[in-house]
Amino acid sequence: MSSYQTVVTATIANKEMIDGLEVVVQNLDYQKEELVYLKRTCRQHYESREEVLERLEELLYYKKN
């Protein structure tokens, strides 16, 4: 999954081809939404080791990003 969005902002076109002249790469920032998700899905107790590992993985991905 990419952390960037590429947008073609200018093109030139004729019958034979379309050519991009300018491209903007936008950094997608979902940090606020990720933090809200992590806070809403927090539990006091986890039933199995797999649930704990899954939660830890989510937290590590958030810290890494």
Q: 17-62 pLDDT, tens per residue?
A: 777 777 777 776 778 888 888 889 888 888 999 999 999 898 888 8
Q: Which residues contact 31 (CB under 8 A, 6 or more apart)?
A: 65
**How far is residue 62's CA from residue 35's CA, in Å, rounded to a whole number?**
8
Quote the distance between the C-alpha of residue 44 and its chain's center. Answer: 27
Closest to 58 in 3D by CA, of 2, 42, 46, 44: 42
Residue type, 35: L
Band the pLDDT of 4: cuts 50, 70, 90.
Answer: low
* Residue with the two structure tokens 């019958």: 15
pTM metric for this prediction: 0.48
